[in-house]
């Protein structure tokens, strides 16, 4: 696996994921779709296929990190980092129930920041692909 560039690896992808890896891995979405040995509409299916060794996969850290069958092969891709917004109608913003929910979400998300940010698990395995080799 180390001798094969990331763009030439086999991938297990859920629908639409190939486009997210342009230009990080591939120059076009079509190049990614050619490398996909498994494509599906369910993120669980892509994770299970990768865990069985069918290929690499792109997963949100909060989804894949708790699964002991899979490991990081790189740091999270910074260009795929997303923000989470909690939106409410202006008239409800100061409602005690809405404020309680927002406080709860803020506290819970903050307590799991390492999981959401891809810092909860790092694997120093010999089969990892160093980022410099891509």
Model pLDDT, residue 100: 94
pLDDT band at 50 (very low <50, low <70, confident <90, very high): very high
pLDDT band at 1 (very low <50, low <70, confident <90, very high): low
Query: Which helix or strand (DSSP H or E) is residue 17 part of?
Result: helix 17-20
Predicted model pTM = 0.70
Strands (E), 1-134: 11-14, 36-40
Model pLDDT, residue 134: 34
Residue of 73, 64, 77 whose CA lies nearest to 2: 73
Q: Where are the domains of the chain?
A: 1-75+121-134, 82-116
More confident residue, 124 or 38: 38
pLDDT band at 120 (very low <50, low <70, confident <90, very high): confident
With contact defined as beta carbons under 8 Å apart, do 8 and 35 qualify?
yes
Does pLDDT of 126 surpass 60?
no
pLDDT band at 46 (very low <50, low <70, confident <90, very high): very high
Does pLDDT of 91 surpass 70?
yes
């Amino acid at each position: 696996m180390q001798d094969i560039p990331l763009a030439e690896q086999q991938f297990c992808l859920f629908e639409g994921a190939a486009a997210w890896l342009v230009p990080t891995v591939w120059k076009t979405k079509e190049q990614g779709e050619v490398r996909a040995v498994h494509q599906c509409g369910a993120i669980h299916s892509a994770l299970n296929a990768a865990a069985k060794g069918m290929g690499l996969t792109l997963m949100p850290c909060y989804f894949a990190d708790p699964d002991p069958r899979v490991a990081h092969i790189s740091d999270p891709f910074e260009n795929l980092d997303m923000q989470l917004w909690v939106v409410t109608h202006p008239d409800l913003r100061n409602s005690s129930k809405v404020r309680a929910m927002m406080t709860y979400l803020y506290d819970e998300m903050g307590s799991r920041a390492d999981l959401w940010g891809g810092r909860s698990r790092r694997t120093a395995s010999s089969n990892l692909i160093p980022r410099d080799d891509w």
